Each structure stands twice: as C-alpha cells, then as structure tokens.
Amino acid sequence: MKRQLNAVKHAIALSLGLLSFTATASNTLTAEEVIGLQQVAQAQVSPSGDHVAFTRYVPRELYKEENGLHWAELYLVDDKGVERPYITGQVTVNNIHWSADGSLIYFLAKMGEDKHTSLYQIPFNGGQAQKTLGLKETDLASYALSHDGKQIAIIAKPAKDKSVKDLEKLGFMAEVYEENLENNQLFVIALAVTDKPLTPIAWNIEDYVSDVQWSANGSQLLVKTQPTALIDDKYMKSQWHIVNVASQKLVTSFITQGKLGGAEFSHDGQYVAILGAEDMHDPAAGRLYLAETKTGKISEWLPNHLGHVSDFEWKNDKNELYFITDIDTDSVLGLIKPGSNDYQVVVKAGKFIASQLSISDSDKTIALRANTALHPNEVYMLRGSKHKATRLSNSNTWLDDKRLAKQESISFKAKDGVEISGVLIYPLDYNKGQRYPLIMSVHGGPESHDKDGWLTNYSRPGQLGATQGYAVFYPNYRGSTGKGVDYSKLGQNDYAGKEFDDLVEFKDHLVNMGLVDSKKVGITGGSYGGYASAWAATKLTKHFAASVMFVGVTNQLSKFGTTDISNEMHLVHARSYPWDKWQWYLERSPIYWAGQSETPLLIMHGKDDPRVHPAQSMELYRYMKVQGKVVRLVYYPGEGHGNRKAAAQYDYHLRLMRWMDHYLKNDGKEMPANELDHKANLEAVNKDA
C-alpha cells in the first residue's frame, strides 16, 4: 500500500506543472499514472475455492528506482474481495501454484542472496517464504506439480561449466550464430524441501523442452518439445507428446501442423485438449482440438469456429472443458463436452475480456484474469449455477475516480465487401457535430486483434489521448484474429496491400461519421503496426498528417534476412520467399516510397530487438533523411521488441504525444525539440523527497 500511495503522490507531483503537455486535472488520467498502472499478472484459485493467490505487476517509480523490469508481488484475496499482501517490495514472483491440500503457495523467485531462480513456498495462513529447492548453477525456468503434490517436473537449462565464465573474463567470447544452442531439459524428482542445490539427472530428450503437464494419476506427462531453442522452431515446429513417468518412454505423439499452444489431460486421462493451428499456414494457435490418449487420434473440436480460443481448463470430476474464445472485439467463456461440437455460453460477450482460467477442486469456483474498458487486468471469480461474476481485486483504487471517455466497438463493410471492425474511444468531452484530431493505433502481428477492454498503455494512447482531445481508434484490419482462420489469412501473400488499404477506409468512415477532421489524422503502432505506420507515412502519405513508427518493418527484403522468425514469416505471412519476387518485396517496403513522403515520421526502436532488427528503423530514417523528409530516429538501449522498463516507456509516451500534438494540434512546421526535460523532473522529485 505504501508503494501505491507513493506512486500516486509522485504522479500528481509530476502532473502539476512540470510537463506542459500532460493533463493536470486531478480527475483525468495523466501519463505518469498510466506508466504506474498496476495489474494482475497471474491468478490461481485455491483447492477449496475460497481464495485466489495472484501476482501483481508493479512498475518501478519514475526518477526514483533504478532502471529495470516491473516488480511482481504476491497477494491473496478471499471471495469477499479482502486482500492480504504476502510478498511485496523489490521482488519478482511468478509461476504460482497451490499445494494439493491448499496449505502452501509455491512460486519461482530470486530472493535474498540467490544467484539463480529457485522454487519457494509460503504458508497459506501466513509466515515467511522458504526455499523449497533450487538447481546447482542454473535457473528453474518453469515447473509443474503432480496432482497429489508428491512429485515435481522441472524445466531448466543445464548448468554452465565454470570454465565458460573463466574464459569469458579472459576475452574468449566468440559467438557462433544459431549453433551450440542450449536446450531446456526436463527433470522429474520427489517434491521435498532441501537446503542444498540439486543436480538431478535430466530425462533423455534430445529436443528443447518448452512445457510439461501431469496426468491426474501422476503416471504420465504431457511434454512439449521443439527441435532447438530458436524462436522460429517454437512457433512452427513444436509438438506435444505423452510420456510414461516410470519408464520415461514415449507413449504417443500428437501430429499437428503449424503453431501450437497449451495442452491438458482430462480428469480421467481419456482425452487431451490441445490449442493449435488449423494448418501450417494458420497465423495463430487459436483452434481447439480434442485428442484421444490411447490412439493419438486428434480432431478439431470446434470446426469452422469464427473466433480464436485463447485458454481452457478441464473440470476435475467429469469430462467437460471450460474455454475462453475471443470473438471479434469481445471474449466469451464456454463449456463443451467430448462428442459434441456445440458449446454452452457460460459468460456471454460484453462482460469482460477474460484470460487465465483456474478451477477449484469441486469445480464450483472459477477464477480468471479479466479487464474491461474501465480498468486493466484484475482477479474475477465465477460461482453458482449461473456463474455469477465478481471482481475481487482493485489494483488501482485511484482509477475509480477518474473520468474516462466513451468506448465502443464499430464495424462496417469495406468497398470490396469484407467486414472490418475496431474499437473507438471518443474524446473525453465529446460534442456531437464537432470534428476532432484522430490517432489511429494499429496492432501488431498481424495475427492479433484489439478487444473492447482496457486499451491504454505507454505506446497506445487510448484514454490518455481522449483526455487530451483526441479520438483514438484501434483498427482490426483484415488478417486480424477473432473472426476465424479464413479471415486471419486474408492478408497473406499481400504485404501492405488490402490490409493497409483498410486503414484508409477506417479513416474515411470516421470522417463520414462527422467525428474526425480529415486533415488531422495521425497513426502509430508497433511491430506489424509499425510497418503500417511506416507505410502510412510513405505510400499512403496523402491520408496521414503524422506518424510514429515503433519497432516496425521498413524493408521486406532485409527484414527476412535479419529476423529470428524467417520461417514463420514465410509460412503464415508472405507465403513466398524474397528470391521468388525481389521487385514485389521491394515495392511492398516503405523505403521504396520514402521519396514521396509528406508525413512527419518519428521512428523509435529498442536497440536489442531480435524480431525486427534495429537496422530496419535506420534504413527508413536514412532513406527519408537524405531526401529531405521530416524524420527523427530514437533508439532505446537495453530494450527489445517493445519497451519493458518504466523509464523507457515513459520517455516513449512523451515523445509519441508531443509528436502528435505538434503536427495535429499545432500545425507544426519545424520538428519539436529532440530533448525531454528529465533533468527538471529528477530535481523536482529529489526536492520533494
């Protein structure tokens, strides 16, 4: 609680005059408050169903705490919404699980003098956290507890030989690219508290182990593998297997194609539910499959489903499966039985955007994580025959007093008849008939989609933009998920084609609604959304007055050769190789159209991005700069494919909104200053302290 109060005081201090472009009214959101938003990261219901253990992300305090990732604290909340802090402060807790009898909560963390991540436990009735076990000279990556609580399956990399560190100190650090990769290994041992670091023997599995799940009786494991540690293999070459625990022998492998998500045994071990892709060209693992454990036969459980399944959980006493499916801009909780392709709607669309199901032993209580248009992710509980939903946690109590703008889903047919949709946030004090500047915030992927929930963060203006007089729109252009596999494939083999033409149609629709000033439209996005923003600033420059590109693609030829997902790009995006049609790839690249740009472009990128190489941003910057275009490039050292640390997130947001204000509100001619007054903010915070 002290940390929360300090964060709010800090945000208020900053918003009261240090930053002229930050809203100052106490009942409207500020940038500092958004950067400091806390939210639930994981929620696990107790076996009894009376409590939920959860972790909460806590951003580091701006200008006070050293640079780093968000903290993750451990809390407990009962079915009345009464919270109890268990482990708080400068700590990162993750992967929480209850013991079989509900007396302990297990979690992974580095605590005290730990050099490596270990498994800890803390009593449900309170007390100190105690280290349960750790491995010698390596981190526990993840783990799974057997249902009786007697065994634990651990995934970890092998310990490094001491000579490796010694040689590094002497300068022997040559890296052989994509060779000599370390695989995650699987260990299965008895669960017992021990003071000494363990050196268990890894199971004889040649491939990289990425996930593991127990059968209810503890005799079998579901093991997910991929050929190597490469992210491309994770995306496109993963496979689930059933392995006998006693013999460590393979029982069954499930034959699937393309992307692959989670899997779980039914309570009696007769079935396995699997989240996967329809085929190798399906952009997302959103199909629900039912597999038979004895035969390995696997079939699609919801054929032709016009949505994307994101999570599921079997009941504990019968073969029925709860699942979450995202349909258009909403999410639905369903219940389905083997032998049927029809499902019961348990929680209908429009209640919340759900994720991470967790079910009590009696099956009478469901916990989940959910957000709405009014708040980020919180803990929810469902109970009773009608599955009445109750929100249990409130991570940002101050948010309840904030004025938030109207938000709604909209859809219409594009000129070629394809239905396109998105989420619109109106200006906070919207007056019908008045036209407003627009910020279009384009999602990445493109195998993703924006939902009608909480949409505001450091790189996506949302309610902050609305507070400052903007309409903010989140387009689900063709190729987005949420409308079935066929729809999600509409952008394939057509980079920057009709998928980005949709953005112009979205703009025109909002103008025709009488909401938007057609000459004051800005666009921003990250990754594939960054590609869209770069395309809007070059090929579609006539339609956009300002653009902010984040970790975006600018050259499809060099992108293929510098990314860590080239195989995935080929199979689910391009459906061809650059050498098949060099000129086509070049013409679908923003650099090709840089010479015609009339749109001021701000480019920002993490310098350690493995997905979209930082050189992508450099290329477009150089192509525009040499031709006298309005462009600026900002790199973030230590950040990857998106900024994860509070300071970099805050800096990014300030630059984003200053760029939009300058060109959409102030009709700026010269670029805004390249500096932000972080020094003054630091001095003010130190003085206040």
The confidence score (pLDDT) of residue 8 equals: 44
Q: Do the bridges between strand 250-253 and strand 260-265 make them parallel or antiparallel, or are there none, so unpaired?
A: unpaired
What pLDDT digit, counting tens, does each position of 565-613 carry? 999 999 999 999 999 999 999 999 999 999 999 999 999 999 999 999 9
Tell me the pLDDT band of 433, cut-offs 50, 70 and 90: very high
Q: Is the peptide bond before 446 cis (omega within 30 degrees of 0)?
A: yes
Tell me the pLDDT band of 55, cut-offs 50, 70 and 90: very high
What pLDDT digit, counting tens, does each position of 360-383 carry? 999 999 999 999 999 999 999 999
Percent composition of the chain: helix, strand, coil (DSSP 3-state, to 5): 20, 35, 45
What pLDDT digit, counting tens, does each position of 211-225 carry? 999 999 999 999 999
The confidence score (pLDDT) of residue 293 equals: 96
Residue 267 in this model has a pLDDT that exceeds 70: yes
Q: What is the pTM of this model?
A: 0.94
Residue 1 in this model has a pLDDT that exceeds 90: no
- Interval 121-148 mean pLDDT: 96
Collapsing DSSP to helix, strand or coil, 362 comes out as coil
Does 469 or 7 have the greater pLDDT score?
469
The confidence score (pLDDT) of residue 688 equals: 80
Strands (DSSP E) found in 200-270: 208-214, 220-226, 239-244, 250-253, 260-265
Give the residue from 507, 550, 504, 510 showing the smallest Cα distance to 530. Answer: 550
List the strands of the sheet with 375-383, edge to edge: 353-359, 365-372, 375-383, 388-391
At 610, list the tokens.
């493995």
Handedness of CA 618, 623, 628, 631 (dihedral sign): negative
Query: Domains of the chain (ranges plus CATH)?
Result: 134-171+181-300 (2.130.10.10), 404-679 (3.40.50.1820)
The confidence score (pLDDT) of residue 165 equals: 87
What pLDDT digit, counting tens, does each position of 182-214 carry? 999 999 999 999 999 999 999 999 999 999 999
At 315, list the tokens.
């009941």
Percent of the chain topping pLDDT 90: 93
- Interval 315-323 mean pLDDT: 97
What 8-state DSSP symbol labels residue 595?
A: G
- Interval 71-86 mean pLDDT: 97
Q: What are the distances in angstroms from CA 149 to CA 97, 144, 152, 200?
A: 11, 10, 8, 19
Distance CA 180, CA 199 (A): 22
What pLDDT digit, counting tens, does each position of 546-561 carry? 999 999 999 999 999 9
Hey, which residues does 84 pair with through a beta bridge? Answer: 76
- Interval 19-46 mean pLDDT: 82
CB 244 within 8 A of CB 219: yes
The confidence score (pLDDT) of residue 3 equals: 53
Hey, which residues does 647 pair with through a beta bridge? Answer: none
Tell me the pLDDT band of 2, cut-offs 50, 70 and 90: very low
The confidence score (pLDDT) of residue 18 equals: 42
Residue 169 in this model has a pLDDT that exceeds 60: yes
CB 86 within 8 A of CB 108: no
Percent of the chain topping pLDDT 70: 96
The confidence score (pLDDT) of residue 423 equals: 98
The confidence score (pLDDT) of residue 20 equals: 36
